[in-house]
Amino acid sequence: MVALVLGDTPALPLHTAGKYVAAAYIVVFAIVLIYVAVMSIRLSHMERDLGELLALSEQTAPEPAAAAMAEPEPESVLP
Amino acid sequence: MYGKGLRALSISTVVAMALALALVFFYAPLEAEQGFLQKIFYLHVPLAIVALCGFVLGGLLAIQHLRTRDPRWDMRSYVVIHMSLIFGVATLITGSIWAKGSWGHWWVWSEPTLVSFLIVFLLYATYQPLRFAIEDPERQSRYASVFAVTAGAFVPMNFIAVRLSTAYLHPRVLGSSSNLPGPMKLTFTVSLLAIALLFATLCKYELTAKHTRQQVRALRRRLAREGDAAPRRGRSAVPSLQGVSAMSAPSSGRTGL
């Protein structure tokens, strides 16, 4: 088996070798793409979490907002 | 912050990758024996080198964690090993594709280089399950670091053992027996640099994402501290930075890795 493989192996012609080379580069590109996709999903989860935290912070500290809402607007000379 | 310099690193990676691809397909001459198929080596060999170096780096970072007990080193070690595993998968797949084209077989079990790389890969494939099996974060990080140091020491020993074996089929790209002409050597060096940059960039992305996630969790705990619904950390293989104030930036003067 080893001797068989070690024997002279002529260079594959371009139309035969091309598909192997293309496959190898496409596989690596696909792996990086999958990784980026996973990272983007995680990022969207984080964005959702931050939105929840923003809502939570508005719930836990309503006093300044409520005070601002309750404060009467100064009289204006504008119509 | 972990994200510092991420943009510059990303741009450097894209430029280096584009340059490497241009050199591979438009500059490097065709190899006499393998012809166009040899172009796979500009991808496969750098991936293998970077993956193996990443495993060793993970061990070195784990040593730092065991010395200082700082969970940030554990996080770095975890991310580097995690990324090396991904690069390891790419190495195995591209290697198999090349083997099929060159030898007519997807895998040759009598080839020491292939089998040794597979052994290293499978060894590190147990790293995540090991972490996940231990619930206590402190014990988990300690045991994982011990594993990373031991396995990291195994990588160069394995490499030397394979080099000493005489009956091999796998071509030697680097070393005394290699005779790469100038254009091929330049192309290979640029490809290696591009893959190393890709590794560093993805590690930095991962570290930044994990650190940001920990910060969000810390913020959630802070906001929920008055209530009784403080979120509890479930079982996870990801290192915890709870002991080092996740809201603060990492130690100054250090790089992301």
Q: What is the 3-state secondary structure (H, E, C) of B187-254?
A: HHHHHHHHHHHHHHHHHHHHHHHHHHHHHHHHHHHHHCCCCCCCCCCCCCCCCCCHHHCCCCCCCCCC
Determine whether the interchain pair A20/B98 forms a contact, defined as Cβ–Cβ distance below 8 Å. Answer: yes
By C-alpha distance, the chain B residue nearest A58 is: B223
Query: At B31, phi and psi to the nearest 5?
Result: -75, 140
Interface check A50 vs B, CB under 8 A? yes
Q: Which of B33, B90, B219 sits opposite A27 (nearest CB)?
A: B90
Q: What pLDDT shows up at residue B19?
A: 95
Q: Which residues does chain B have within 8 Å of residue A13's beta carbon, measured at their own beta carbons?
A: 35
pTM value is 0.80
Q: Does A35 touch chain B (CB under 8 A)?
A: yes
Q: What is the pLDDT of residue B58?
A: 95
Which chain A residue has its CA at the smallest distance from B33's CA?
A: A11
**Is A2 near chain B, with CB under 8 Å?**
yes
pLDDT of residue A14: 62
CA distances from A37 to A31, B14, B47, B83, B196 (A): 10, 18, 21, 15, 21
| Tokens 């100064």 belong to residue | A74
Task: Specify whether the backbone of B245 is left (phi greater than 0), alpha (psi in -120 to 50) or beta.
Answer: left
3-state secondary structure of A65: helix
Contact call for B202 and A9, based on CB within 8 A: no
Q: What residues of B are in contact with residue A46 (Cβ under 8 Å)?
A: 209, 212-213, 216
| Average pLDDT in chain B | 84
pLDDT, tens digit only, all 257 positions of chain B: 677 788 999 999 999 999 999 999 888 888 777 888 889 999 999 999 999 999 999 999 999 999 999 999 999 999 999 999 999 999 999 999 999 888 888 988 888 888 899 999 999 999 999 999 998 889 999 999 999 999 999 999 888 888 777 655 566 655 555 577 888 899 999 999 999 999 999 999 999 999 998 888 888 888 877 555 555 566 777 887 765 654 444 444 444 45
Determine whether the interchain pair A6/B169 forms a contact, defined as Cβ–Cβ distance below 8 Å.
yes
Size of interface A-B (CB pairs under 8 A): 97
ipTM computed for the complex: 0.80
Using DSSP, state whether A12 is helix, strand or coil.
Answer: strand
Give pLDDT tens digits for B168-177. 556 665 555 5
- Put simply, the answer to whether A24 touches B34 (Cβ < 8 Å) is no
Closest C-alpha among B88, B11, B89 to residue B56: B88
Neighboring chain B residues of A35 at a CB cutoff of 8 Å: 86, 202
Q: Do A11 and B32 touch (CB under 8 A)?
A: yes
pLDDT at B104: 87
pLDDT of amino acid A79: 43
Chain B positions in Cβ-Cβ contact with residue A38 (cut-off 8 Å)? none
Cβ contact, residue pair A12, B35, below 8 Å: yes
How many angstroms away from the CA of B171 is the closest CA of chain A? Answer: 11
- Report CB contact under 8 Å: B35, A46: no
Is A17's CB within 8 Å of B35's CB? Answer: yes
- Chain A residues in contact with B247 (beta carbon < 8 A): none
Distance between CA atoms of B113 and A10, rounded to whole angstroms? 22
Can you give the pLDDT at residue A15? 65
